Structure 1
Amino acid sequence: MRRRTLLAGAAAGAAGGVTLGGYRWWRTPAEPVIPDAPAGDERLEQRASAARGRTVDFYTAVPAGYGDGRGLPVLLVLHGASKTAADFPALGLGRFVTDSARRGNPPFVLAGATGGRLSWRPAGADDPQRMVHEEIPAWCAGRGFDTSRISVCGWSMGGYGALLLAQTFPGFVRAVAAFSPAVTAGDDVFTRAGALRGVPVGLWCGTGDGLLADVRALERALPQPKAAGSYAAGRHNFGYWSTCLPAAFDLVARVTSRE
C-alpha cells in the first residue's frame, strides 16, 4: 500500500480542497492518508483465544517516545469485514497514535485482534465480543498497559461492534469512536441506544457512503448529542476513515486521560 504524507501548509489555501480531521486535502483520498510520524513499539503477535476457539493475530502499538507503553490507557481497535489485525501496520495505525501524541494529546496505546466476520457478536462457540471484553484486556494487562482506562473504535462492521460492546458491558469503555458503523434502523445498536447514556460517542460517515442515512438516524437516537464526528466527503473505505482518525484520537485522548 502506497504511503502518503498529510498535505497541509500550502495546500490549505488551495481552491477546491476539503478539510477533514483537521487537515486539508485536494480531494477525498482513495488510499489511507498516513501521518508523517514514526511508529513506536508496534507488534503483531499470535495469541490463543479460548473465546474464539482458535489462534488469532494480536496487534499493539505504542506511540514513539513512550517505550513499551507501560501505564498508558488503551484504545481497542475493531476491524471491518475486509481487514484483520494483520493489516493494521500497513494502515499506518502505529503512525497515527504517534501523531496524536505529537500533536499534544495525552498518549495511549492501541490494541486489537482478529475477530472474523461475525460483526463482533457471538456465533455458537465463536465469541469475538467475549475476546474483546475479557481476553484482550488480559493480554494488555500482561504488557503493563492501564486496562482501567479503555476506549474502543472501529469502522464499518467494527463500528457496529464497538457500539454494541459499549451497550452490552456498561462502564467497560470510556468512549466510542465509530466510523461508518454498519448499523440498520431497528437493529440491536438502535434498540439499545439508551445504554449509551453517559458514554461519549463519536460518529463519522462519508456523504458518499450508502450507510449515511442510517448513521444519521443513529445519531438522532443517541441519548445525548455525539461528542465528536462529522459527515464529510468520502466513501466506504479506509481512505475516508483515515481522515477521521485524528479527530477520533483527540476524543479518546481527552476522555481516557482522566484518572
Structure 2
Amino acid sequence: MTLSSGSGALVLFSGGQDSTTTLAWALDRFDRVETLGFDYGQRHKVELDCRAILRTSMAGLNPLWAERLGEDHTLDLATLGAVSDTALTRDTAIEMSESGLPNTFVPGRNIIFLTFAAALAYRRGLKHIVGGMCETDFSGYPDCRDDTIKALQVALNLGMDTRFVLETPLMWIDKAQTWELAERLGGQTLVDLIVEETHTCYLGERGARHAWGHGCGTCPACKLRADGFSRYTAEKVSG
C-alpha cells in the first residue's frame, strides 16, 4: 500500500471489532498512527481493557505496523455518561425508544468523540482522523451517518482553521465485508486476533466464547457481529 500524503492519523480506537479493523486500515496507509479511546461510563467498559493487548498484538503482526504505531491516548468523558440516560450508560434493558431508535443510542456521542479527537489531532499534528462509523450495517444511530460526518468535518475545519480529513473506511460496507477487510489487511492472524481479543457486546460480557468472539450473543451489537461473521465464513466456503 502506498503511504498517504499528509501528517499521520489519529484512530478512534475503542477495543472493538470495527475500531480494530480501522486501526489496521490506518496502519496500512499512514506513516504515523496514534490511537484514542474514551471512558464515558459505558456499561461495556471492558472494551478499554482490550486496547493494550490489541495494540501490542497488532504491532507484532507486521514490522511496518510496529514502526508506524505511535502513542495511545485515553480521555475521560464521564460527563457524557452522566447526562446520558441510555442502555449503554445505565443498567437497563435494551429496547426501542419512542423516537424509533434503540435506547443504546447515546445522543451526541460521535460528535463529541470527533470534536475531542480533532482537538487532540490539532495538538499532535495529525491531519487524518479515522473512525469506524458505518451507515450500511448499523443500529440506525444518526451520528453514524455519512452526512453527519461530512457536516462535522466542515464545522471542525472552519472552527479550527485547518484541513482535517475524517476517514470512515467502514461507512459503506457491512459486517461480513468488515471481516473480509480485516483478512485482506492482516490475514487470518488478524481475524483470529479480532475474534479472541476485541470486545463488542453492549452488556460487557466476556464469558461465553462464540465462533465470532466473546459476548452475550443477544444484544444488537452481538447479533450484528455474529450475523456478519456467519456470512463471511459462508462466503469463504462457497468461494
TM-score by shorter chain over 0.5: no
Please state which band the TM-score falls in when normalised by the shorter chain. Answer: 0.3 to 0.5
1 or 2, which has the higher helix percentage?
A: 2
1 or 2, which has the higher strand percentage?
A: 1
TM-score, structure 1 normalization: 0.32
Higher RCO (Cα < 8 Å, 6 or more apart): 2
